[in-house]
Amino acid sequence: MHFVKESIIRASPERVFAFHELPDALDRLLPPWETARVVLPPKNLHAGTRTIVETKLFGFYKVRWEALHTAYDPPRMFEDVQVKGPFKSWRHRHIVEPHELGARLLDDIEYEPPFSIFGRLAAPLLVERRLKRLFDYRHEVTRRWAEASESI
């Protein structure tokens, strides 16, 4: 399955990428309504770096999500894949491209939900809706930070 979130941010691609390299970027990107907490923050975004986040599914089932950074090409892209967690598979590419107004931020996620056909049937309602809300929030947080002191 595939999920994409795209935003135009009025800041340079370098500035937008720099936000993601902040030591507390992942904490900043966790919405207040989510039950997730960062157990092991990434030391950096370089390939080989691991991150662990603990979250709850359906409001009560606690899961640990371990991600491995597999690609790093500043200020254009970094990628992480799920090593262990709630999805059958998860690949997330964070892409930053130049745009006439500043930068285009693109989160491109390829995933396979758990529970076989049942997971695929439930994904539009349960997974896609949650991802949309989560990445709307993340893009707004990134936009506010990147545009705060940048003029194009």
pLDDT in tens, 32-70: 998 899 999 999 999 999 999 998 876 678 899 999 999
Predicted TM-score (pTM) of this structure: 0.91
Q: What tokens were used for 105?
A: 């931020």
DSSP string computed for 97-133:
EEETTEEEEEEEEEEE-SSHHHHHHHHHHHHHHHHHH
Given the DSSP bridges, would you call strands 61-73 and 50-57 parallel, antiparallel or unpaired?
A: antiparallel
Q: Exposed, middle or buried by CB within 10 Å (0-12, 13-18, 19+), for 16?
A: buried
Domains of the chain, start order = 2-148 (3.30.530.20)
Q: What tokens were used for 110?
A: 């390829």
Strand partners, 9: 103
Cα–Cα dist 71/110, whole Å: 15
Higher per-residue confidence, 128 vs 145: 145
Please give the pLDDT value at position 126: 67
Per-residue pLDDT tens digits for 81-125: 999 998 889 999 999 999 999 999 999 999 988 766 766 666 666
pLDDT at residue 149 tops 80: no
Per-residue pLDDT tens digits for 7-19: 999 999 999 999 9
Q: What tokens were used for 127?
A: 């997974």
Please give the pLDDT value at position 118: 62
DSSP string computed for 14-58:
HHHHHHHTSTTHHHHTS-TT---EEEE--S-SSTT-EEEEEEEET
Please give the pLDDT value at position 114: 75
